[in-house]
Amino acid sequence: MNRAILYSNAEPSPKQREKFVEFLRGKYGEDYELVWEQEEVEGNGFRLAVGTEVYDWSLQGRLAQLRETLQKVKAEGKLIPLLKETVHDWVPQALAEEIGTVESVGDGIATVSGLDNAVYGEILIFQGGVRGMVMELQQEFLGCILFDDDDNVSAGSRVSRTKRTAAVPVGEGFLGRVVNALGVPVDGKESVREDGYRPIEHPAPAIIDRQPVNEPMETGILAIDSMFPIGRGQRELIIGDRQTGKTAIAIDAILNQKGRDVICIYVAIGQKESSVAQLTENLRKRGAMDYTIIVMAGASDSDPMLYLAPYSATAMGEYFMEKGKDVLIVYDDLSKHAVAYRAISLLLDRSPGREAYPGDVFYLHSRLLERSAHLSDEKGGGSMTALPIVETQNSDISAYIPTNIISITDGQLFLEDDLFFAGQRPAVNVGLSVSRVGGDAQTKAMKKSAGALRLDLAQYREMEVFTQFASDLDDTTKRQLLYGQGLMRMLRQKQYHPMSQHQQVAVLCAALGHCMQNIPETHIETYVNRLISQMEQTQSALCNKIDREGILTDAERTQIQEEAKQVAEQFIKETE
Name the class of domain 448-575: mainly alpha
Where do the domains of the chain lie?
2-168, 169-187+212-442, 448-575
Tell me which residue of 387, 394, 392 sits closest to 402, measured CA to CA.
392
By the 8 A CB rule, do 145 and 304 touch?
yes
Whole-number percent of the chain with pLDDT over 70: 92
Name the class of domain 169-187+212-442: alpha beta
In DSSP notation, 209-271 reads GB----SB---S-HHHHHHS--BTT-B-EEEESTTSSHHHHHHHHHHTTTTTTEEEEEEEES-
Burial class (CB in 10 A: 0-12, 13-18, 19+), 528: buried
To the query of whether residue 530 is one of the catalytic residues in this protein, the response is: no
Tens-level pLDDT at each residue, the chain (576 residues): 678 888 888 888 888 888 888 888 887 778 888 888 888 777 678 877 777 677 777 776 666 666 666 665 555 555 444 444 444 454 555 555 678 899 999 888 999 998 888 999 999 989 878 899 999 999 889 999 999 888 889 998 889 888 889 999 999 999 999 999 999 999 999 999 999 999 999 999 999 999 999 999 999 999 999 999 999 999 999 999 999 999 999 999 999 999 999 999 999 999 999 999 999 999 999 999 999 999 999 999 999 999 999 999 999 999 999 999 999 999 998 999 999 999 999 999 999 999 999 999 999 999 999 999 999 999 999 999 999 999 999 999 999 999 999 999 999 999 999 999 999 999 999 989 999 987 888 999 999 999 889 999 988 888 887 777 666 778 888 888 889 999 999 999 999 999 999 999 999 999 999 998 889 888 999 999 999 999 999 999 999 999 999 999 999 999 999 999 999 999 988 887
Which of 17, 436, 461, 530 is the catalytic position?
A: 436
Query: What letter represents residue 171's amino acid?
Result: G
- DSSP-assigned letter for residue 92: -
Rounded-to-integer distance, Cα 47 and Cα 45, Å: 7
SS3 readout for 329-352: EEEECHHHHHHHHHHHHHHCCCCE
- DSSP-assigned letter for residue 138: -
CATH of 2-168, one of 3.40.190.10, 2.40.30.20, 2.60.40.10, 3.40.1000.10: 2.40.30.20
- CB-CB neighbours of 285 under 10 Å: 10
2-168 and 169-187+212-442, same CATH topology: no
